[in-house]
């Protein structure tokens, strides 16, 4: 038997023949006088049949010899499939290249090329699988013949391009299919397969093809690569498997009966669940228009049959890597959304807690009303008022720099300390002492670099004197009752840095009389720091001028201040807390 094998190999051309063999055969055939092409076409077809049969005879010969070696069953099964595909290809050559039927064959040239390529694809695929298996099992003596089978199939493809396209040039133009050179993705690579690289991502892959042999090759190849592979023989079945298995990658044949690959691709891309999969279109046609059409419809890639195992492995791996990145982006986005939702809930809870600490409105000799609008990010505004004793009434408003839970916690801590009058060694009736006590209690180094501004005043009812001090805060506006004259507005503040900025800061206090019916307006900068329609910032002076115009028309109403903020924020969420405290004496 060994002797017969050696004789057969000597009798057949070497599988390592010059890469230009197919081209040289074609050139010799096409050197005939073209003016006689119509009359010489039968002899040209005969020569084409001969040239195309030669490499296929090599395929059959080497496959038969390997079967005679009595290989294991898994080898025998695939070798039998190679034989069946080779014999089928010989039948198709006789059918399509017969002088009596060639004219009708040229009328549907794309289908002819598709039918001829399909069994060759099977031969290449099974030979690659067998070669890898032989390398893994240590059957090195089988590898040369398997390589020859693979190379012979590649030679056949080159001959098909070189011989059939020129013979049918006129018909090719009529169906719009150019005689382009084989693209890189279909190029035949001779020699041994590269050794496998480190195992890449394993995924779920759906193979959709109406040809059972194509499906078998792809499914087996994918499973050998560690993927979970499913298959479907038609478009409708593919939709069922697609929805059930949720594949990561779909290998989708373009040419299928009933629901073709392109239509199936369009349906999948229009379905929110199905379009999560990366789709690789698979076809024996290499028209650029068809490739572009699939990519534009949403395909991730396009493979032209036949393709070798290395290319398939690379394309599937690339799609899996891209999908993993997209999935990671979606997971990250979902985590961010969930985190943002939790943060929003926490901020709302914090705002609710701050609001619960705010005092109830007063009525009587001293009446109060206020508005508190926390920003979308929650700032650090807080305010309050309380009777220190029977004669002294304290009122205050503070604003912590920054936003978020940290700012809110600092404002609540300061508010509770003021309200409980718990500053060590501080008389709450003396505003400057309160400023100094707060500055000592809340150094910014101990508060995560946060500080706050504050306005603090004490009204003594016996002589209607207001003593006040501020630390980096906007002034309070004292609005006179007016009587027969227009109401006057006076700024009440003292110069000092914000609380916590400078340990050595010194604070002072001033006093002002409050007449019967006077109003005190205390606010945070969130009440006026907006932009005009032209984009210019609104300043404290602008706010004061607006307020002066308002009180000349009617007594100050808190609703006017709220409408001012709403108008200039243009319906958007507030960027800062807005707190306004209105006290009438």
So where are the chain's domains?
2-181, 204-330, 358-584
Architecture of the domain whose range is 358-584: 4-Layer Sandwich (3.60)
Per-residue DSSP letters for 57-86? HHHHHHHHHHHHT---HHHHHHHHHHHHHH
Indicate yes or no: pTM above 0.75: no
Token pair of 518, please? 């006077």
- Dihedral sign, Cα of residue 32, residue 36, residue 39, residue 45: positive
| CA distances, 325 to each of 84, 92, 198, 319 (Å) | 42, 45, 19, 10
Q: Exposed (0-12), middle (13-18) or buried (19+): which is 559, by Cβ within 10 Å? A: exposed
Can you say whether residue 161 is alpha, beta or left, with left for phi > 0 and alpha for psi between -120 and 50 degrees?
A: alpha
C-alpha–C-alpha distance, residues 48 and 60, integer Å: 19
Token pair of 408, please? 């809110």
Buried b (16+ CB within 10 A) or exposed e, 372-403: bbbbebbbbbbbbbeeeeeebbbbbbbbbbbb
pLDDT by residue for the chain (585 residues), tens digit each?
Answer: 444 444 444 344 443 344 344 444 444 444 444 443 443 343 577 778 778 887 887 888 888 888 888 888 888 889 999 999 999 988 888 888 877 777 777 767 777 888 888 898 889 888 888 988 888 888 888 888 898 898 988 888 888 878 776 766 544 333 333 333 333 333 333 333 334 444 467 899 999 998 887 888 788 889 888 899 999 999 999 999 999 999 999 999 988 888 889 999 999 999 988 989 999 998 866 677 788 888 998 999 998 776 667 788 889 999 999 888 888 898 999 999 999 888 778 777 877 888 888 999 999 899 999 999 877 666 788 999 999 999 999 999 999 988 777 888 899 999 999 999 999 999 999 999 999 999 999 999 988 889 999 999 999 999 999 999 999 999 999 998 765 566 789 999 999 999 999 999 999 999 999 999 899 999 999 898 888 777 788 899 999 999 988 888 778 888 889 888 888 877 666 677 889 999 999
Residue 246 CA, chain-centre distance (Å), reads: 18
- 118: nearest Cα among 293, 255, 317: 255
**Tokens 């373009």 correspond to what residue?**
254
CATH 1.20.140 fits 2-181, yes or no: yes
Task: Give the fold, CATH level 3, of 204-330.
Answer: Rossmann fold (3.40.50)
């Amino acid at each position: 038997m060994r002797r017969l094998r050696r004789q057969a190999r000597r009798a057949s051309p070497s599988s390592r023949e010059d890469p230009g063999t197919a081209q040289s055969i074609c050139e010799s055939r096409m050197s005939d006088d073209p003016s006689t092409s119509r009359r010489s076409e039968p002899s040209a077809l005969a020569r084409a049949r001969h040239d195309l049969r030669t490499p296929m005879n090599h395929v059959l010969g080497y496959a038969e010899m390997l079967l005679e070696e009595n290989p294991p069953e898994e080898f025998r099964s695939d070798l039998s499939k190679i034989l069946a595909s080779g014999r089928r290809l010989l039948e198709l050559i006789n059918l399509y290249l017969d002088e009596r039927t060639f004219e009708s064959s040229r009328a549907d040239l794309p289908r002819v090329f598709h039918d001829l390529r399909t069994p060759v694809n099977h031969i290449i695929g099974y030979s690659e699988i067998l070669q890898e298996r032989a390398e893994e099992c240590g059957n090195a003596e089988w590898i040369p013949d398997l390589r020859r089978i693979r190379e012979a199939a590649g030679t056949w493809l080159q001959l098909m391009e070189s011989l059939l396209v020129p013979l049918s040039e006129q018909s090719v133009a009529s169906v719009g299919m150019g005689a382009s050179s084989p693209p890189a993705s279909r190029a035949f690579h001779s020699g041994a397969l590269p050794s496998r690289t480190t195992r890449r991502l394993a995924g779920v892959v759906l193979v959709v093809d109406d040809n059972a042999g194509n499906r078998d090759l792809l499914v087996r190849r994918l499973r050998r690569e560690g993927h979970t592979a499913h298959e479907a023989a038609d478009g409708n079945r593919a939709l069922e498997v697609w929805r059930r298995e949720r594949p990561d990658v779909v290998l989708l044949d373009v040419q299928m009966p009933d629901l073709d690959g392109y239509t199936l691709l369009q349906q999948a891309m229009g379905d929110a669940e199905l379009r999560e999969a990366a789709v690789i279109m698979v076809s024996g046609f290499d028209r650029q228009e068809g490739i572009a059409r699939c990519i534009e419809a949403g395909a991730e890639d396009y493979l032209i049959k036949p393709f070798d195992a290395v290319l398939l492995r690379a394309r599937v791996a690339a799609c899996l890597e891209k999908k993993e990145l997209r999935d990671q982006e979606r997971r990250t986005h979902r985590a961010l959304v969930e985190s943002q939702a939790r943060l929003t809930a926490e901020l709302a809870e914090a705002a609710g807690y701050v609001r619960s600490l705010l005092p109830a409105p007063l009525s009587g000799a001293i009446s109060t009303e206020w508005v508190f609008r926390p920003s979308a990010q929650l700032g650090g505004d807080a305010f309050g008022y309380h009777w220190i004793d029977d004669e002294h009434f304290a009122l205050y408003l503070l604003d912590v720099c920054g936003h978020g839970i940290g700012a809110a916690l600092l404002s609540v801590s300061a508010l509770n300390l003021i309200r409980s009058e718990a500053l060590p060694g501080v008389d709450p009736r003396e505003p400057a002492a309160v400023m100094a006590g707060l500055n000592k209690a809340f150094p910014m180094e101990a508060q995560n670099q946060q500080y706050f501004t504050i306005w603090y005043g004490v009204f003594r009812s016996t002589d209607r004197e207001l003593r006040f001090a501020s630390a980096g805060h906007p002034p309070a506006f004292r609005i006179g009752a007016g009587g027969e004259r227009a109401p006057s507005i006076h700024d009440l503040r003292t110069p000092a840095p914000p609380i916590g900025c400078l340990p050595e800061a010194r604070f002072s206090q001033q006093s002002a009389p409050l007449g019967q019916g006077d109003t005190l307006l205390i606010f945070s900068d969130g009440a006026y720091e907006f932009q005009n329609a032209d984009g210019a910032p609104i300043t404290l002076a602008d706010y004061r001028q607006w307020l002066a115009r308002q009180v000349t028309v009617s007594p100050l109403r808190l609703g006017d201040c709220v409408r001012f903020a709403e108008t200039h924020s243009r319906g958007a969420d507030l960027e800062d807390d807005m707190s306004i405290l209105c006290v009438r004496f």
